[in-house]
Amino acid sequence: MFKRILQVGLTVLLLCNTALLVLLVGDRWNLFAQEETAAQTRRFRQVIEAVGARYVDPAAASPEKLTTSALSGMLTKLDTHSEFLDRKETAKVQDDLKSAFGGIGVQIELRDDRVVVIAPIAGTPGDRAGILRGDRIVAVDGRDLEAPVLRNAVDRLRGKPGTSVRVGLERTTGTSARNLELELVREIIKVETIRSVSLVAPEIGYIQVTQFTERTAGEFKEALETLEAQGIRALVIDLRNNPGGLLTAPVEMLSAFFRAGELVVYTQGREAASRSELRARGAGRKRTYPLAVLVNAGSASAAEIVTGALRDTRRAVVIGERTFGKGSVQTIIQLPDGEALRLTTARYFTPGGQVIHERGIEPDVALPVSAEDDRKLNIQRVRDDLATAEEFKARFEFEPIADRQLEAALDALRGVLVFSGPSTAAENPPAAAR
């Protein structure tokens, strides 16, 4: 009797161990996920076969067309930046990386299936024509945008430099919306990354950064040293309507203020091991003077990296509006037969761990400005060559308005300087300042 009980017990134990081994091996080799993928693939094939066999227009329901449409929809459903690229689109992406092209100079984004202007790039045709952040592009050359609308807009706005393009916009003011059409001439977009460098108040410098390119860090350093030679004790960095650009540029620019090896931003994908950190190189000198950063809803991407890093490390007070919220990483994954995926594989985080994407950076001092006032202020910053208010009004048909966000930044910095005393100047100033 005892022998039989022992045999049964050993059999049960063997079965349990075998089951556990199957579970472990299956999990290790991802067999269960493969079974789920196979089941969903069968489901997909059944739909394609049913549509291909019974849809009224057989030419529109070929297996290739149905599969391409399904893949495009699959990626688009993930987020607004992921997409499936067929052979033609993949070739175009690769060509764009190598070729020069003309455009109108606006950064755009897909929001709620609408093409929205993040910000016009300062000094470009879009900026000069009066395109505003928040404008929705609905048509190009009199034709409505077609799906996929973002790629369609990009393709149709680009063209040979010197050619004309008509851009149909929908603009919301308050509770009302109106349509307008602007005619622009395409240009090779050459961006002046540092637009304005000045002493805006005694001992307070001002630098406007319009976009981030490979030149930005060098130009910013030159501007900073110019102001330091004039004895600044505080600085305003204006990132309003800065749509971003090269994502390594903020790290290089912030090396002027950060210690060598200090974290500026990091990316994180789905796996813990995918974290990638971008750290400052350091400037070889210590700058401790107070900073103020101006931002608005047109501040995006690399501009948000700068803002988040300075705010999280308590080096700056942030003034203005919540930023745009564009902080994800897309990777091009090549497929057979010349096709590819553009897939979101990571998101950007501030040093304090705040995700930027679709949330933006909240200012310390919130001061919203209407799109119309933002347009006027942009003109004022660009056309500071007009000496008098009368001359300005005659040219642009409005009187200069106060920049409340800049005034708030100056008030904040003056307050810090009153309590901090003279020790806030940069240590080891350049020879020109000695």
Active site (catalytic) residues: 301, 312, 326
Pairing of strands 291-295, 234-238: parallel
CA gap 238, 217 in Å, rounded: 15
Per-position DSSP letters for 237-284, written without gaps between them: EE-TT---B-TTHHHHHHTTTSPTT-EEEEEE-SSGGG-EEEE----S
In the numeric block, the tokens 């930005």 are attached to: 216
290: left (phi over 0), alpha (psi -120 to 50) or beta: beta
CA gap 87, 354 in Å, rounded: 37
Where b means 16+ CB within 10 Å and e means fewer, 44-56 reads eeeeeeeeeeeee
Tokens of 99: 């070729």
Phi, psi of 29 (to 5 degrees): -90, 5
Q: What is the CA radius of gyration of the chain?
A: 28
Question: In 3D, which of 233, 230, 203 has the Cα closest to residue 420?
Answer: 233
How many Cα atoms occupy the beta-carbon half-sphere of 89 within 13 Å?
18
Residue 189's CB is within 10 A of a number of other CB atoms, namely 19
CA gap 176, 51 in Å, rounded: 43
Pairing of strands 340-349, 291-295: unpaired
Whole-angstrom distance between the N-terminal and C-terminal Cα of the chain? 101
CA gap 399, 394 in Å, rounded: 9
Where b means 16+ CB within 10 Å and e means fewer, 329-360 reads beeeeeeeeebbbbbbebbbbbbeebbbbeeb
CA gap 213, 302 in Å, rounded: 10
